[in-house]
Amino acid sequence: MKKILMTTAAIALGASAAGAEEIKMGVLLGFTGPLESLAGPMAQGAEMAMKEVSDSGMLLEGDTVTPVRGDSTCIDSAAATAAAETLVTSDGVKGIMGAMCSGATTAVLQNVGMPNGVVMISPSATSPALSSMEDGGFFFRTAPSDARQGEVMAQEILDKDISSVAVTYTNNDYGKGLADSFQSAFEEAGGTVTISAAHEDGKGDYSAEVGALASAGGDALVLIGYVDQGGSGVLRGALDTGAFYTFVFPDGMVSQALEDNFGAELEGSFGQLPDSEGEGMTTYLGMAEEAGFDGSSAYSGGAYDSAALMLLAMQAAGSTDPKVYKDMIMEVANGPGEKIYPGELAKGLELLKAGEAIDYDGATAVELIGEGEAAGTFREILFEDGKITTVGYR
């Protein structure tokens, strides 16, 4: 009896191996924790790309792609590592779209990605430390390093004739990294930073932080934080006590929630986020709207691109083995070849199958530089009549 069972199982296994496979892909994001409101649209973006590829039936032998979600929590590296470990060892994912925050991403890369040889593409980890980290060629990101954002932010502030600012940052890899790169860029260009103080996330009360910032003074407050977390708390406090009237918001703050909760009070405040204009983004926004989620939420387009890149690289390499297809990612992302935009993944797969080269442009005009990170264009935003308006790109 036992033998019959085993033979049946063996035959079943053999049969499935020959035909279309089910490829599992990890979607590792901070579904709980300080960025939980951004995680939803990101996951939906990534899953939309996977569904698109799956439905096309063009991937390798007509393989289907199944997303498996994992919770990286953003702040708890141990939890992120455990979630990634589960994805890789028990679900057997062929690649991980994630993780979300820089700290969690570093931990997952060191403890799970590299040792197990699984490709990771993060749409949102922006710590400069990740640029120079040993990654064995398994790590990429469709987000630019904060070193670049610091320069852009400094320039944007100086262009508005503001020469003295106070800085507060969320106390983690992302906050510290961006605050430092901003401060050095700003001071180099002749500006003054009156104070650079950290704030802890997850607390309701930020009176002490606001008091210290107000005492140091400055013409504007650069608020490097998370909109679901301390960022909003500090902002609320600063507005209510009249400590500052002009604010500068980097990516973690720019979201619908900021507009909904503060809107009219932020007249004249401005910010920037890694984002791109053009055909790709417009198409993506339309697709997202059709699918019933907000594609303009930060990094949602990048998540779509991250997932798409991995699947296209698989097709280009003719293998789902991360150790093989990792070498194709840069090629697929940078071309040369026909440009592929969101919604055209089937076309991309077809071209690759025919042995032609493609240049995946995606929602965020993907162009990977250096060790595999986005070159970075930034969307500048301004609060006008209580709404976030886009003033330009740089």
Give the span between the Cα atoms of 110 and 255, in whole angstroms.
31
- Tokens of residue 216, six digits: 């140091």
CA distances from 248 to 95, 166, 192, 245, 324 (A): 36, 10, 15, 10, 43
Q: Which of 141, 148, 199, 379 binds other proteins (CB under 8 A)?
A: 199
Closest distance to other proteins from the beta carbon of 89 (Å) = 25
Q: Which of 216, 221, 329, 381 binds other proteins (CB under 8 A)?
A: 216
Instruction: Tell me if 80 contacts other proteins by CB under 8 A.
Output: no
- Tokens of residue 235, six digits: 């902002």
What single DSSP character describes residue 263? G
Residue closer to other proteins (CB basis): 7 or 241: 241
Number of residues that bind other proteins (CB under 8 A): 38
Instruction: Tell me if 330 contacts other proteins by CB under 8 A.
Output: no
Residue closer to other proteins (CB basis): 195 or 382: 195
Instruction: Tell me if 198 contacts other proteins by CB under 8 A.
Output: yes
Strands of the 64-71 sheet, one edge to the other: 64-71, 22-29, 95-98, 119-122, 139-141, 373-374, 368-369
Give the span between the Cα atoms of 17 and 367, in whole angstroms.
35
Q: Which of 92, 115, 211, 370 binds other proteins (CB under 8 A)?
A: 211
Closest distance to other proteins from the beta carbon of 246 (Å) = 14
Instruction: Tell me if 200 contacts other proteins by CB under 8 A.
Output: yes
Instruction: Tell me if 243 contacts other proteins by CB under 8 A.
Output: yes
Nearest CA to 125 among 361, 302, 341, 371? 302
Instruction: Tell me if 369 contacts other proteins by CB under 8 A.
Output: no
Stretch in the footprint of other proteins (CB under 8 A) among 86-94, 203-211, 307-315, 337-345: 203-211
- Is there a contact between 170 and 249 (Cβ–Cβ < 8 Å)? no
Rg of the Cα trace of the chain?
A: 22
Q: Which of 60, 158, 162, 212 binds other proteins (CB under 8 A)?
A: 212
Instruction: Tell me if 33 contacts other proteins by CB under 8 A.
Output: yes
Residue closer to other proteins (CB basis): 236 or 347: 236
Give the span between the Cα atoms of 95 and 23, in whole angstroms.
9
Nearest CA to 263 among 293, 235, 228, 300? 235
Instruction: Tell me if 215 contacts other proteins by CB under 8 A.
Output: yes
Residue type, 285: L
Instruction: Tell me if 57 contacts other proteins by CB under 8 A.
Output: no
**Three-state secondary structure call for residue 355:** coil
Interaction site with other proteins (CB under 8 A): 32-34, 36-37, 171, 195, 197-200, 202-205, 207-212, 214-217, 227-229, 232-233, 236-237, 240-243, 257, 261
